[in-house]
Amino acid sequence: MKKLMYPFLLVLLSAVLAACGADEEGKSAEKDDKAKTAETAETDQQDQQKQMEEMQKKMEEQKLEEDKTVAIVNDQEILGREYNSVLTSSQMMFQQMGQDPTTKEAAEQIKEQTLDSLVGQTLLLQEADKKGYKASDEEVKKQLEETKGQFKDDKEFETAMKQAGLNPDSLEKEIANNIKYTKYIDSEIKPEEVTDAEIQKFYDEYASQGGAEGQEPPKLEEVKPQIKQQLEQQKQQEILVKHVEELKKSAKIDIKV
């Protein structure tokens, strides 16, 4: 089940994951380099750099003009800069799953997911505003610091902001929207309680899979809190998707791309 998250969080999270992935690749490459000559290693690095540059160029070509109207949701415009933000995160996620985001099929899938996510987020924020959910200055400041804390330094954080098409002012606005979004979801989207039977079923399937792979699964008591949290999130997500579909029925949505 796909998760509706606010755009800048997706991009910043993707940047963190990409950095982690790069660290692991770097460790593996270090071992391989010991078995290669310096000349071969340099050639490989140049080839890899060229491939990355070509991939980045193709990904940039999927972006839209920043001021272009992408969609209108209940008279509220969604612009190209917002589209590009979510597009970037989707492209990153595809890459982290080992898929090429620039193929024709992938590009169409990413475009559809991006538009669907933006429309859903806009509808939910509109509902949050109608019901009076707000973000205080203190809440914005706190989440800004927590977001910065995900990065090793200011330079990495600023790079992630740039990838998301944000500056400090627009970032604070996005954080405020995210806080309203989260308050609305937590207050209005109430899933049923997760039962012990559901936890047991999930655990049995997990344990069975681990056994088939020759791994000894942990005891239920050790993973029960994590299983419960995951099932709660799944239930909330299912209700959220249905809620968005209901909002769409009475909304005026005009896709422009």
Q: What is the pLDDT of residue 16?
A: 42
Q: Are 234 and 178 within one domain? A: no
Q: What is the pLDDT of residue 33?
A: 58
Residues of the chain with pLDDT under 70: 1-41, 165, 210-214
Q: Are 137 and 198 within one domain? A: no
In a domain, 2, yes or no: no
Q: What is the pLDDT of residue 95?
A: 84
Last residue of one domain, picked from the residues 188, 208, 231: 188
Q: What is the pLDDT of residue 132?
A: 95
CB contact at 8 A, 257 and 69: no
Residue 78: partners with Cβ closer than 8 Å, 6 or more residues away? 69, 70, 71, 72, 118, 119, 122
Q: What is the pLDDT of residue 70?
A: 95
**Widest CA span of the chain, in angstroms?**
65
For residue 219, the SS3 value is coil
Q: What is the pLDDT of residue 34?
A: 56
Last residue of one domain, picked from the residues 173, 188, 203: 188
Q: Are 202 and 161 within one domain? A: no
Residue 94, class by beta-carbon neighbours within 10 Å (0-12 exposed, 13-18 middle, 19+ buried)? Answer: buried
| Amino acid code (one letter) for 34 | K
Q: What is the pLDDT of residue 159?
A: 86
Q: What is the pLDDT of residue 35?
A: 56
Q: Are 116 and 240 within one domain? A: no
Last residue of one domain, picked from the residues 156, 188, 220: 188
CA distances from 87 to 92, 98, 160, 237, 242 (A): 9, 17, 14, 21, 23
Q: Which domain holds residue 69?
A: 7-188
Q: Which residues pair with 192 in a beta bridge?
A: none
Q: Are 136 and 230 within one domain? A: no
Q: Cα 40–46–47 angle (5° rounding)?
A: 90
Q: Are 131 and 145 within one domain? A: yes
Q: Are 199 and 223 within one domain? A: yes
Q: Are 69 and 94 within one domain? A: yes
Q: What is the pLDDT of residue 3?
A: 40
Q: Are 111 and 28 within one domain? A: yes
Q: Are 200 and 242 within one domain? A: yes
Average pLDDT of the chain, as a whole number: 82
In a domain, 116, yes or no: yes
In a domain, 1, yes or no: no
CA distances from 82 to 60, 77, 166, 168 (A): 15, 10, 10, 16
Domain count, the chain: 2
The size of the chain, in residues, is 257
Q: What is the pLDDT of residue 91?
A: 87
Q: What is the pLDDT of residue 26?
A: 53
In a domain, 244, yes or no: yes
Q: Are 157 and 130 within one domain? A: yes
CA distances from 189 to 73, 81, 168, 236, 238 (A): 21, 29, 31, 6, 10
Q: What is the pLDDT of residue 256?
A: 94
